[in-house]
Structure 1
Amino acid sequence: MPRPAGRAPGHLRAAAADHAAPGADPLGPAAWGVLTAAQVFALLCALLIEFGFDLSSAREAARRQTDRADLGHLLSGITTAKLALTDVAALLTLAA
Protein backbone atom coordinates (compact mmCIF):
# COMPACT_ATOMS: atom_id res chain seq x y z
CA MET A 1 0.00 0.00 0.00
CA PRO A 2 1.59 3.32 -1.03
CA ARG A 3 2.02 5.99 1.61
CA PRO A 4 0.67 9.51 1.09
CA ALA A 5 3.03 11.90 -0.66
CA GLY A 6 5.14 14.03 1.65
CA ARG A 7 4.90 11.72 4.67
CA ALA A 8 7.72 9.64 6.07
CA PRO A 9 7.09 6.06 7.12
CA GLY A 10 5.93 5.69 10.73
CA HIS A 11 9.20 4.31 12.06
CA LEU A 12 11.09 7.31 10.63
CA ARG A 13 8.66 9.79 12.18
CA ALA A 14 9.07 8.09 15.56
CA ALA A 15 12.88 8.12 15.26
CA ALA A 16 12.84 11.80 14.35
CA ALA A 17 10.65 12.58 17.37
CA ASP A 18 13.11 10.73 19.64
CA HIS A 19 15.97 12.94 18.46
CA ALA A 20 14.20 16.29 18.51
CA ALA A 21 15.95 19.21 20.13
CA PRO A 22 15.53 19.20 23.89
CA GLY A 23 12.88 21.67 24.90
CA ALA A 24 11.44 21.95 21.39
CA ASP A 25 8.16 20.22 22.18
CA PRO A 26 7.10 22.34 25.19
CA LEU A 27 7.65 25.57 23.28
CA GLY A 28 4.86 25.19 20.80
CA PRO A 29 4.74 26.73 17.32
CA ALA A 30 4.26 30.37 18.39
CA ALA A 31 7.13 30.41 20.90
CA TRP A 32 9.33 28.46 18.47
CA GLY A 33 8.75 31.19 15.88
CA VAL A 34 9.65 33.92 18.37
CA LEU A 35 12.83 32.06 19.33
CA THR A 36 13.81 31.63 15.69
CA ALA A 37 13.17 35.31 14.95
CA ALA A 38 15.36 36.29 17.91
CA GLN A 39 18.16 34.03 16.66
CA VAL A 40 17.94 35.53 13.19
CA PHE A 41 18.02 39.05 14.61
CA ALA A 42 21.08 38.19 16.74
CA LEU A 43 22.86 36.72 13.71
CA LEU A 44 22.09 39.83 11.65
CA CYS A 45 23.50 42.02 14.44
CA ALA A 46 26.65 39.87 14.52
CA LEU A 47 26.92 40.20 10.75
CA LEU A 48 26.59 43.97 11.06
CA ILE A 49 29.30 44.13 13.72
CA GLU A 50 31.71 41.82 11.88
CA PHE A 51 31.18 43.66 8.57
CA GLY A 52 33.94 41.70 6.79
CA PHE A 53 36.65 42.77 9.21
CA ASP A 54 37.92 39.21 9.53
CA LEU A 55 38.93 39.15 5.86
CA SER A 56 40.09 42.71 5.38
CA SER A 57 42.01 42.90 8.66
CA ALA A 58 43.92 39.70 7.94
CA ARG A 59 44.91 41.05 4.53
CA GLU A 60 46.00 44.40 5.96
CA ALA A 61 47.89 42.76 8.83
CA ALA A 62 49.81 40.64 6.32
CA ARG A 63 50.74 43.76 4.38
CA ARG A 64 51.91 45.59 7.51
CA GLN A 65 53.57 42.70 9.34
CA THR A 66 57.01 44.36 9.43
CA ASP A 67 55.86 47.54 11.18
CA ARG A 68 54.55 46.80 14.68
CA ALA A 69 53.39 50.38 15.28
CA ASP A 70 51.35 50.30 12.07
CA LEU A 71 49.85 46.95 13.15
CA GLY A 72 48.85 48.56 16.44
CA HIS A 73 47.11 51.40 14.61
CA LEU A 74 45.33 48.86 12.41
CA LEU A 75 44.14 46.88 15.44
CA SER A 76 42.94 49.97 17.28
CA GLY A 77 41.10 51.21 14.18
CA ILE A 78 39.34 47.89 13.69
CA THR A 79 38.44 47.66 17.37
CA THR A 80 37.06 51.19 17.34
CA ALA A 81 34.99 50.47 14.23
CA LYS A 82 33.60 47.27 15.76
CA LEU A 83 32.69 49.11 18.94
CA ALA A 84 30.88 51.76 16.90
CA LEU A 85 28.98 49.07 15.00
CA THR A 86 28.17 47.39 18.32
CA ASP A 87 26.59 50.64 19.45
CA VAL A 88 24.52 50.72 16.26
CA ALA A 89 23.43 47.11 16.80
CA ALA A 90 22.51 47.91 20.42
CA LEU A 91 20.39 50.86 19.29
CA LEU A 92 18.68 48.65 16.70
CA THR A 93 18.00 46.06 19.38
CA LEU A 94 16.51 48.63 21.71
CA ALA A 95 14.37 50.03 18.88
CA ALA A 96 13.04 46.57 17.94
Structure 2
Amino acid sequence: MEKNVIEVTSFITGETEMIHLDTPLEGHGGGDHGIMHDFVRLVQSDGEVAGLSGAHVSVQSHLMAFASEKSRLEGRTITMTDYINDLRNEGLR
Protein backbone atom coordinates (compact mmCIF):
# COMPACT_ATOMS: atom_id res chain seq x y z
CA MET A 1 0.00 0.00 0.00
CA GLU A 2 2.84 2.38 0.79
CA LYS A 3 4.23 2.04 -2.75
CA ASN A 4 0.83 1.95 -4.52
CA VAL A 5 1.88 -1.33 -6.14
CA ILE A 6 0.36 -4.80 -6.21
CA GLU A 7 2.79 -7.70 -6.44
CA VAL A 8 1.35 -10.78 -8.15
CA THR A 9 3.44 -13.91 -7.64
CA SER A 10 2.74 -17.16 -9.45
CA PHE A 11 2.94 -20.01 -6.98
CA ILE A 12 3.76 -22.31 -9.91
CA THR A 13 6.63 -20.40 -11.55
CA GLY A 14 7.66 -18.15 -8.67
CA GLU A 15 7.68 -15.18 -11.05
CA THR A 16 6.49 -11.84 -9.69
CA GLU A 17 4.71 -9.14 -11.68
CA MET A 18 4.45 -5.57 -10.37
CA ILE A 19 1.20 -3.71 -11.09
CA HIS A 20 1.47 0.03 -10.47
CA LEU A 21 -1.77 1.63 -9.37
CA ASP A 22 -2.97 5.11 -10.20
CA THR A 23 -5.10 5.58 -7.10
CA PRO A 24 -4.86 7.69 -3.96
CA LEU A 25 -2.63 6.25 -1.27
CA GLU A 26 -4.83 7.16 1.68
CA GLY A 27 -7.66 5.19 3.21
CA HIS A 28 -7.58 1.68 1.72
CA GLY A 29 -6.29 2.94 -1.61
CA GLY A 30 -9.06 5.51 -1.83
CA GLY A 31 -11.80 3.03 -0.97
CA ASP A 32 -12.67 4.78 2.30
CA HIS A 33 -13.97 7.75 0.31
CA GLY A 34 -16.45 5.52 -1.52
CA ILE A 35 -17.54 3.82 1.70
CA MET A 36 -18.19 7.15 3.41
CA HIS A 37 -19.99 8.53 0.34
CA ASP A 38 -22.29 5.50 0.38
CA PHE A 39 -22.84 5.84 4.14
CA VAL A 40 -23.85 9.51 3.84
CA ARG A 41 -26.19 8.64 0.95
CA LEU A 42 -27.85 5.94 3.08
CA VAL A 43 -28.26 8.27 6.06
CA GLN A 44 -29.67 11.07 3.89
CA SER A 45 -32.23 8.69 2.38
CA ASP A 46 -33.16 7.34 5.83
CA GLY A 47 -32.17 3.88 4.62
CA GLU A 48 -34.61 3.92 1.70
CA VAL A 49 -31.93 3.19 -0.92
CA ALA A 50 -29.76 0.10 -1.13
CA GLY A 51 -26.16 0.29 -0.02
CA LEU A 52 -23.22 -0.76 -2.17
CA SER A 53 -22.64 -3.79 0.04
CA GLY A 54 -23.94 -5.20 3.27
CA ALA A 55 -22.52 -7.14 6.16
CA HIS A 56 -23.11 -10.48 4.41
CA VAL A 57 -20.96 -9.49 1.42
CA SER A 58 -18.28 -8.04 3.68
CA VAL A 59 -18.08 -11.24 5.73
CA GLN A 60 -17.88 -13.35 2.56
CA SER A 61 -15.06 -11.25 1.12
CA HIS A 62 -13.10 -11.44 4.39
CA LEU A 63 -13.57 -15.21 4.55
CA MET A 64 -12.25 -15.51 0.98
CA ALA A 65 -9.18 -13.46 1.91
CA PHE A 66 -8.49 -15.59 5.00
CA ALA A 67 -8.99 -18.82 3.04
CA SER A 68 -6.65 -17.53 0.32
CA GLU A 69 -3.94 -16.87 2.89
CA LYS A 70 -4.44 -20.34 4.38
CA SER A 71 -4.12 -21.79 0.87
CA ARG A 72 -0.91 -19.84 0.28
CA LEU A 73 0.63 -20.86 3.59
CA GLU A 74 -0.34 -24.52 3.33
CA GLY A 75 0.22 -24.85 -0.42
CA ARG A 76 -3.14 -26.47 -1.04
CA THR A 77 -6.58 -25.71 -2.40
CA ILE A 78 -9.09 -24.56 0.19
CA THR A 79 -12.77 -25.29 -0.44
CA MET A 80 -14.92 -22.51 1.00
CA THR A 81 -17.61 -24.88 2.29
CA ASP A 82 -15.00 -26.94 4.17
CA TYR A 83 -13.24 -23.80 5.42
CA ILE A 84 -16.46 -22.34 6.83
CA ASN A 85 -17.43 -25.67 8.41
CA ASP A 86 -13.97 -25.90 10.02
CA LEU A 87 -14.40 -22.39 11.47
CA ARG A 88 -17.82 -23.31 12.83
CA ASN A 89 -16.44 -26.49 14.42
CA GLU A 90 -13.56 -24.57 16.00
CA GLY A 91 -16.07 -22.18 17.56
CA LEU A 92 -17.89 -25.08 19.18
CA ARG A 93 -14.79 -26.39 20.95
Structure having greater relative contact order (Cα 8 Å, sep ≥ 6): 1
TM-score normalised by the chain length of structure 2: 0.34
Question: Which protein has the bigger helix share?
Answer: 1
Question: Which protein has the bigger strand share?
Answer: 2
